[in-house]
Structure 1
Amino acid sequence: MNYNDPLEPAMIITKVLTKSDVVGNVVLPKAEVMSVLTRMNVNDQDLENGVEVQVHDLLEDDLYTVTLKLSGIDKPKYYFGSGWSTMKHSLDVGEGYVLKLYWNQWENKFVVLNFQYSLIPLMIPV
């Protein structure tokens, strides 16, 4: 995929990291993850067991494998488990860091959006 082309906003997950995200596992925004899940070939049962996904840092050309998981039925939480520790240390993130990930459905991986990009404009009929 050419990342100079506009990206689809619905495939972006944005999270301002908290202290607990940095110390433990990063909890991802539910609505944004659910939007991305429409393009991933996984279901809640898969996510309860954990699904390994790749995360590509294009600037450093690093590829991480992390486990995307779901916990809780009444109040579901999506988070990165195994692999997050390696990724956060390599990216040198801390509290307040804005983590932006793009789901590239054609390559079946997340891309860290730590570069200049543009979004596909929304076409709203008038």
Structure 2
Amino acid sequence: MNYNEPLDPAMIITKELSKSDVVGNMTLPKAEVMSVLTKMNNVTNENLQNGVEVQVHDLMENDLYTVTLKTTGIDNPKYYFGTGWSIMKHSLDLEVGHVLKLYWNQLENKFVVLNFQYNVMQPMIPV
């Protein structure tokens, strides 16, 4: 994918890291995750209860991480990164207060860390 082209803002997950994100698993913003889930292949709330391994690519360092995306349940689910998050967090030197932005690349079926200059698509305004 050409990351010089504008990115779809509906496929971006943004999270300011809290102490609990850095100490344990990273909780993800529900509305943003639900938007991304619509474009993920074969991922449902049901199989997220057991966890789904996803790839996260850091283009700047050319590192590829595998993390488990999970949910706490079907009724009012909370989404989080579990297994693999600790390795990724330490490798990216993430701390409390840092903002992590991830882009779901549907063509490559993986997240991309947005730690580089990028543009987002502007909404179409009817004339």
Same topology, TM > 0.5:
yes
What is the CA-CA distance between 1:76 and the residue it aligns to?
Answer: 1.1
Does the residue aligned with 2:70 lie in a helix, a strand or coil? strand
Any stretches of 5+ residues in structure 2 without a counterpart?
A: none
Deviation string 1:78-115 (CA, Å, 9 cap, x unpaired) is 00000000000000000000000000000000000000
Aligned partners of 2:74 and 2:121: how far apart in 1?
34
Give the TM-score of the pair, scaled to structure 2. Answer: 0.97
The 1:97–1:27 alpha-carbon spacing in structure 2 relative to 1, beyond 3 Å, is same
Asked if the contact 2:45–2:74 (Cα under 8 Å) also holds between the matched residues in 1, the reply is no
What is the CA-CA distance between 1:46 and the residue it aligns to?
Answer: 1.0
What is the CA-CA distance between 1:75 and the residue it aligns to?
Answer: 2.9
- The RMSD of aligned alpha carbons is 0.8
Task: Give runs of aligned pairs for residues 62-81 of structure 1, distance below 5 A.
Answer: 62-81=63-82
Deviation string 1:19-72 (CA, Å, 9 cap, x unpaired) is 000000000000000000000021111101100000000000000000000003
Aligned partners of 1:87 and 1:81: how far apart in 2?
11
Any stretches of 5+ residues in structure 1 without a counterpart?
A: none
The equivalent of 2:107 in structure 1 is 106
Aligned partners of 1:37 and 1:73: how far apart in 2?
14
The equivalent of 2:37 in structure 1 is 37
Task: Give runs of aligned pairs for residues 82-97 of structure 1, distance below 5 A.
Answer: 82-97=83-98
Q: Which of structure 1's runs of 4+ aligned residues deviate more than 2 A? A: 72-75
Aligned partners of 2:109 and 2:73: how far apart in 1?
26
1:23 aligns with 2:23: yes
Task: Report which stretch shifted further, 39-48 or 72-81.
Answer: 72-81
The equivalent of 1:12 in structure 2 is 12
Aligned partners of 1:109 and 1:102: how far apart in 2?
8
Aligned partners of 1:111 and 1:124: how far apart in 2?
28
Q: Which amino acid is 1:43 matched to?
A: T
Aligned partners of 1:107 and 1:18: how far apart in 2?
29
